[in-house]
Structure 1
Amino acid sequence: MPLAGTADAVVAELEQERTEEDLAAVRKRLAEGEEAIGVRMGTLFAIARRHTSLPLPEVERLLALPAYEPRLAAVCVLDFKARRRRTGAYERGTLARTYLGHHHRITTWDMVDRAAPRVIGLWLVGRDKQILRDLAASPDPLRRRTAMTAPLGFLDTPDVEAGYEVADLLAADRNPLVHKPVGIFLKHAGVRDEDRLVAFLDENVALMPRPAVRLAVEKLPPDLRSRYVRPA
């Protein structure tokens, strides 16, 4: 058996949970030709949680593998590490640099959504946000998704305004990988400050794809929602 605390141990556990039914379901979410093992998501998350203490070089080994599940497990481990209360500033920076340095191995939207708010967002609280502006300017929609998903980590902090700045940069983005997280950020930020959301929509709604608008106004009162979208 592979040694505990290694990438090989994580892969062995994933392979033990493989089923043909789950493989068929996973392949529906992946690009054609992308390798997969075939593991149910809840099972994968449980395996990753058990390996929260996995050393970062072993996390990097998982990210280098071709199959989808080991790479998703790797970003889940980064997320679980970032959630720990005892995680200090230095470690947060190391986690963030691991994520960003291996972004080319992040090939699906769920990898971004799983890790970006806590691994990138929490790290950036109180820090310069240039990395988000750089990601927002990337031709890669998954990097732009990271730029817009990371600010979910700002929602309970004064840094939330930086999320609006990224949303302003990406408001007109037509790619669903990007405009959906724009709407999701705005929806949750609007719960914190409805007036700020309304001001953003008044300025940007004409540029935004309709799905992003519908998501953004989801938690607004009906009279305000109807100002931006027609009732069903």
Structure 2
Amino acid sequence: MTLTAAAFTARIEALRPPPGRDRVRMGDVFGLAKEFGDLPLAELDILLDSGNHLVRVGALRIMGNQAGAKRTSESTRADLFALYLRRTDRIDTWDLVDLSAHQVVGAHLRDKPRDVLYDLARSPHWWERRIAMFATLALVRAGDADDTFALAEMLVDDPHEYVNTVVGGMLREAGKHDRARLLAFLDEHAATAPRVVVRFATEHLEAEERARYLAARRASGDS
């Protein structure tokens, strides 16, 4: 099989929705991403330029798979990280971000300085702010929630819904590892944070505790 961007694009464009559905199944896209798992970085760069959303979905799935594979060298992971950050202009929807920000960006930074996350968190582009937050999932899974809470402090009042949802979601994940820190964050911010942040962050709390934080948000007025 020829591992080129053109060949992958042709295979994506040949996909058809199953009977009774109006969308191509993501499982079929992910299956093709597995077939093209060794696609070179230069070809992945070409795919990220595509105007076809599913092609970019496939490209980012491949990047995430490559970054997470045990056989991938550290130099290749560094190259994937660099490509991802260079092409954030093409990773501009919530689903594209969530496909591999944690694998390509977050996992790469587990043993490295995380300054780039704070640069992304200050970006005028909401999807780069989402990347910063979602990337910390890899750090949380490794037992390190410091950057999740620090970035949540920066982004807790963000004006964009897709940043609000990821802040709340990552707080929830961090809270599984450090419940006391999550509760302290909520004690400080629940009354004023966007409601969706509080709703997502409290999903795994006991019903009575969750109701208390949501009531604090309602008491201050919804936004």
TM-score, normalised relative to structure 1: 0.87
- Percent of pairs with identical residues: 37
The aligned counterpart of 1:132 is: 117
Q: In the alignment, what sits opposite 2:219? A: none
Amino acid at match of 2:12: L
Map of 2:78 onto structure 1: 93
Amino acid at match of 1:80: N
Letter in 1 for 2:177: R
Q: Is the counterpart of residue 113 in structure 1 residue 117 in structure 2? A: no
Do the aligned partners of 2:143 and 2:177 also contact (CA within 8 Å) in 1?
no
1:34 corresponds to which residue? Answer: none
Counterpart position of 1:4: 2
Encode CA deviations 1:168-187: one digit per residue, 9 max, x unaligned.
11001121110000011011
How far, CA to CA, are the matches of 1:64 and 1:23 in structure 2?
A: 27
Aligned position for 1:14 = 12
Alpha carbons 2:190, 2:214 under 8 Å: kept? no
Letter in 2 for 1:12: A
Deviation of 1:223 (Å)? 2.9
Shift of 1:103: 0.7
Q: 1:166 aligns with which of 125, 137, 151?
A: 151
How far apart, in 2, do the equivalents of 1:96 and 1:13 lie? 26
Unpaired runs of 5+ residues, structure 1, are 26-38
Bigger Cα displacement from structure 2, 161-170 vs 199-208? 199-208
- TM-score when normalising by structure 2: 0.90
Whole-angstrom distance in 1 between the partners of 2:57 and 2:21:
15
Distance 1:102 1:22 in 2: 36
1:178-220 CA distance string (max 9 Å, x none): 0000011011111111111101111222331101101100001
The answer to whether the Cα contact below 8 Å between 1:63 and 1:74 also exists between their aligned partners in 2 is: yes
Unmatched tracts of structure 2, length 5 or more: 217-223
Where in structure 1 do 4 or more consecutive aligned residues deviate above 6 Å? 20-23
> Between Structure 1 and Structure 2, how many residues are aligned?
216
For the Cα contact (< 8 Å) 2:191–2:213, is it kept in 1?
Answer: no
